[in-house]
Amino acid sequence: MNPVWMHLLVNHIPIIGTFIGLAIVVVALFLKNNTLRTAGLIVFVVTGLGIYAAHFTGEPAEEAIEHKPGISEQVIHAHEESAETTLTLMSASLVLGLLVLFWRKGNDKFRSLLFTAWMILSIATFCQSLVTAHNGGVIRRPDLTSSSEQQAPSSESQEASEPH
């Protein structure tokens, strides 16, 4: 199986899944439904684990395309840096989400504080995952960038595409 295809397949799971999980939790908060809130947390955690599949397929995907014409190493590096930040935030969100799901000791105030921290961190994580996804899309679609300087192909790729 092509590593690029595999990476593109799995990297959407944590983005879409965590959005759905967060949406369920927000609806549950408005409805004051703890069962639905728990379900949303479970969806978030289970789909958020997909970040590790995206992470482990990223390097082979990079190696498969980094020397192809029109691919910028700078753009790949920006995506990789963004992905590392997303991985760190998602890992922390998953730990907090599991604590919220399984913490049964002590008072409800501490669990409420954990939940609030999870919500804030998870929203930040989701926003960061969108940045990472955009940076990944720019690898093959430089027209997605809003900068006036479109990423030009490297001189090596221009030489490779010119007839000799």
Residue 158 belongs to a domain: no
Residue 149 belongs to a domain: no
pLDDT value at 152 more than 50:
no
CA distances from 52 to 16, 101, 158 (A): 15, 21, 35
Closest CA to 97 of 44, 37, 159: 44
Residue 37 belongs to a domain: yes
Per-residue confidence (pLDDT) for residue 41, from 0 to 100: 96
| Structural domain range at position 119 | 3-144
Closest CA to 136 of 2, 1, 15: 15
Q: What percent of the chain has pLDDT over 90?
A: 58
| pTM confidence score | 0.81
**Mean predicted confidence (pLDDT) in 147-160:** 45
Q: Whole-number mean pLDDT of the chain?
A: 86
Contact criterion met (CB below 8 Å) for 93 and 48: yes
Confidence of residue 158 (pLDDT cuts 50, 70, 90): very low
Per-residue confidence (pLDDT) for residue 3, from 0 to 100: 85
Instruction: Reduce the DSSP state of residue 164 to 3 states and report it.
Output: coil
Contact criterion met (CB below 8 Å) for 124 and 88: no
Domain count of the fold of the chain: 1
**Mean predicted confidence (pLDDT) in 100-119:** 88
pLDDT value at 7 more than 70:
yes
Enclosing H/E stretch for 156: helix 155-161
DSSP 154: P
